[in-house]
């Protein structure tokens, strides 16, 4: 069993900052990729940022220069520092991780339950 638990969402004014956290727990052998997606009301879920082992972090264009993804491998945790927030960043943010549960198993994608981020104008 693997769980991803997000925290850190909330309400903030435009121009403000929030930091999201996501901790993976359970039966974990290795984590290949950890990242963030978001879903605004009435829209499809979209990619925000990801951090893959041995590769530079990757961001969607709309958050480049404002959001920073980082990982603490010892804690199986990924963070998303969000600065200069805009009303259009309002969404439910979901953590995603590609996890291998044992040496002889393939890896699978897992999702957190989501955390609400609301940016007021």
Residue 4 reports pLDDT greater than 90: yes
> What does DSSP assign to residue 27?
S
Residue 120 CA to residue 16 CA, distance in Å, equals 10
* 27-85 pLDDT tens trace: 999 999 999 999 999 999 999 999 998 788 999 999 999 999 999 999 999 999 999 99
* 5-28 pLDDT tens trace: 999 999 999 999 999 999 999 999
Output Rg (C-alpha) for the chain, integer angstroms: 14
Residue with tokens 């990982």: 71
- Predicted confidence at residue 53, as pLDDT, reads 81
* 98-121 pLDDT tens trace: 999 999 999 999 999 999 999 999
Instruction: For residue 102, give Cα distances in angstroms to 10, 41, 45.
Output: 35, 37, 29
CA angle 67, 56, 112 (to 5 degrees): 55
């Amino acid at each position: 069993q693997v769980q991803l638990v997000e925290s850190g969402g909330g309400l903030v004014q435009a121009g403000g900052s929030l930091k999201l956290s996501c901790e993976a727990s359970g039966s974990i052998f290795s984590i290949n990729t950890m990242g963030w997606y978001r879903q605004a009301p009435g829209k499809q879920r979209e990619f925000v940022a990801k951090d893959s082992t041995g590769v530079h972090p990757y961001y969607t264009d709309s958050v480049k220069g404002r959001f920073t993804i980082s990982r603490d491998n010892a804690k199986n945790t990924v963070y998303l520092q969000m600065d200069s927030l805009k009303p259009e960043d309002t969404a439910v943010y979901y953590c995603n991780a590609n996890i291998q549960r044992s040496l002889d198993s393939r890896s699978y994608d897992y999702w957190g339950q989501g955390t609400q981020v609301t940016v007021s104008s």
